[in-house]
A = this chain, B = another copy of it.
Amino acid sequence: MSVYINQDTRVLVQGITGRQGSFHTAQMLAYGTKIVGGVSPGKRGQVVEGVPVFDSTFEALESHPADASILFMPAPFAKDGALEALEAGLKIIVLIPESIPLHDAMDIMAYARQKNAVVVGPNTFGLVSSGSSKIGIMPGRYFVPGPVGVVSRSGTLCYEIVGNLTNDGIGTTTVVGLGGDRVVGLHFVDVLKKFEEDPATETVVLVGEIGGSAEEEAAAYISSSMIKPVIAYLAGRSAPPGKRMGHAGAIIERGRGTFESKVEALSEAGVKVADLPTAVSPLVKNALDKT
C-alpha cells in the first residue's frame, strides 16, 4: 500500500533545468521515481537526465500525462508555477522552495482546495514511498521499506530520525515532510489519517517542533481517532521564547505553541514523546514488538 504516491505515480519536474532541479531529477530517477517530463519556460526541446523538457505544464501534459509535480523554481516564481500545475490538473504538488511569501502560500492553498489537490510544503524535503518513489530532495538511501510511517515538520531532523531507524533495521512505509513554513498544505492530522488507514503502516513517528498549534491538533486527532501507536519527538525544548507577533500571536495560540504544551497534549493522547532524537528508534522498536 501507499500513501499519496507509489511506484506508478508519474511526476513532472518544474524548474528542471536549474542546478537543483537537474541534480534532484537524477537523484529521484536513481531512486526509481517515474519522472515523465520537465518544465522550464523557454527551454522546450532540451533533455535533462533523459527527461524531455517543455515550455509549460500544459504542453508537457499534452504528450506526457502526469499525476504529481515537484517545483524547484526560486521563491518569487513559485506561486505562478504552483497555480500553473494546479490549473493543468496535477493533484499532488510538492513545493521545495523556501522563503515563499506567506500571502503567496495562502493563495496557492486556496486554489489547491478548489482543485482538490494536495500541496506538500512549501519549504519541505518532499515525500517518499520508501523503496518505490520519492518526490523530494531527501537522501534516498535512508528510505527503505518497512512498517513505520513518518511525518515531520523539519527536514534534516527527520533524516536523522529515519536514519537511526534504518540503522536499527527498521524501514518506513511513507515519509512526509510537511514543510517548515507558517502556511503549508498538509498538516499532521492529514497525514496521520492516511497512516491510520494504510494497512502497511504499523507504527507512526511524528517529528514536531515549537510554535504553531499543529502538534496540539495532532494530539486531539490521535486521542479521538487513532489506534496505531504514535511516537513523537519535538525540537525546541531549549529555545528561548520567540519574539511575539503583537497580541494577536498570543490570542491565536492561547498557551499552545510552547514545548511544554505540545508534550503535554501528545502525552495525554497516549503518544510516547522521546527525550532525544536518538531515543525515537528504541521506542519504535518497542511499539513494533508489541503489535
Contact = CB atoms under 8 A, between A and B. Distances in A.
Nearest to A113: B114
A82 B112 CA distance: 23
Interface residues of A, number: 2
Contacts of A114: 113-114
Per assembly, the copies of the chain total 2
A113 B114 CA distance: 8
A34 B114 CA distance: 31
Contacts of A113: 114
A113 B115 CA distance: 10
Interface string A108-139: 00000110000000000000000000000000
A114 B114 CA distance: 5
A114 B109 CA distance: 13
A108 to B, nearest CB: 15
A114 to B, nearest CB: 5
A124 to B, nearest CB: 25
Interface string A78-118: 00000000000000000000000000000000000110000
Nearest to A114: B114
A290 to B, nearest CB: 43
Interface string A58-79: 0000000000000000000000
A88 to B, nearest CB: 17
A132 to B, nearest CB: 33
A133 to B, nearest CB: 31
A113 to B, nearest CB: 8
Nearest to A110: B114
A114 B113 CA distance: 8
Interface in A187-226: none
A95 to B, nearest CB: 21
A113 B116 CA distance: 12
A44 B114 CA distance: 34
Nearest to A111: B114
A15 to B, nearest CB: 28
Interface in A202-256: none
A112 to B, nearest CB: 12
The 2 A-B pairs at the shortest CB distance, nearest first, are namely A114-B114, A113-B114
2 contacts: A113-B114, A114-B114
Interface of A: 113-114
